[in-house]
Amino acid sequence: MLETSARLLRLLALLQAHRDWPGTELAGRLGVSPRTIRRDVDRLRTLGYPINAIGGVGGGYRLGAGASLPPLLLDDEEAVAVAVGLRTAADGAITGIAETSVRALAKLDQVLPSRLRYQIDTLSSAVVIIPMPGPTVDPSTLIAIASAVRNHERLRFDYVSHDGSATTRDVEPYRLVQDGRRWYLFAWDTDRSDWRRFRADRLSMRIPTGPRFGPRPLPAEDLADYFAMGPTVNGHRYRAVLTMYGSAAEVAEEVPPTLGAVEPIDDHTCTLRIGSDSLDHLAVWVAAFGFEFDVHEPPELVEHLRTLTARLQRAAWPTAGAR
């Protein structure tokens, strides 16, 4: 009985680790006959595991989805990853997930071997997560968006923009993007015939979803860089382009991707694209980065730098009547 139970656990671990398994390969892994594998699969089915037979030469098995979540078998690295993820999620940006994460973590902690609990505690004690204020997103909204992305189904939702105006949007959803604490939907807006990003906490889903659509090519291979550059540069009143006299790596150390986009020219210079609604902010930022630079656009920034330079000179070398 002990040998059979151990074999069932090993069989379950194999089924959870790989989508499709030929029956002969499972038999070889466990050192038993295909007939024994068939009996063990039947035993797992009686325990609630939805194991489907697949066709092909010799047949095989696939662990499917059931009406309820059966127990999962995790190896050491997987258990550590899940535990760390749950602790991080407790400070996340999804409504109600903190309490759920703590409950799941409590269940995991009580069955973790002491060696793994020590690893997780060591890592957690060394990591500081700074909570960020702001609105959170309902998990059902993220799940609905993710399902539409997976199934290539159009979405309709009511959306409130940053200025408070409300619109109804019809989009082809392509990705869910997490940027810091914010969740965004990246989609093709069918009414505007252009790519758009929408904050998930500002949209209210309309059910049901729309018809299926044929996916179109994404606007960039590296969607993270494309997504970061949009609000960094294009979403502001003033969009500056500068040549920085420093390597792209050196400038990128001083300019976070949420502030500007750095493009190399050669080993010693690079292009910086940066945006802001304030010329004062742009002037102070580029002057404080610590590099020599040339301004190509906008022309208003050049004049503003002259005004700021004169102001700083008066502050550094005050003279009577200078003001």
Average pLDDT, integer, range 20-39: 91
Higher-confidence residue of 68 and 285: namely 285
- Tokens 């009414």 correspond to 191
Q: Show Cβ contacts of residue 223 under 8 Å, excluding neighbours closer than 6 positions.
A: 175, 177, 186
Average pLDDT for 276-297: 87
Over 80: is that where the pLDDT of 309 sits? yes
Q: What is the pLDDT of residue 229?
A: 57
Sequence-distant (≥ 6) Cβ neighbours of residue 35 within 8 angstroms: none
List the beta strands (DSSP E) in the chain.
20-22, 51-54, 60-63, 155-160, 166-179, 182-189, 194-199, 203-206, 238-244, 260-264, 270-276, 293-297
Report the distance separating Cα 44 and Cα 47, nearest Å: 5
The predicted-structure confidence for 250-271, as pLDDT tens digits, reads as follows 998 888 776 788 889 999 999 9
Cβ atoms < 10 Å from Cβ of 101? 19
pLDDT band at 315 (very low <50, low <70, confident <90, very high): confident
Crossing angle, helix 2-17 and helix 23-30, to 10 degrees? 130
| Rounded distance between C-alpha atoms, residue 247 and residue 266, angstroms | 7
Average model confidence (pLDDT) for the chain?
82
When pLDDT is averaged across residues 193-204 and rounded to a whole number, the result is 90
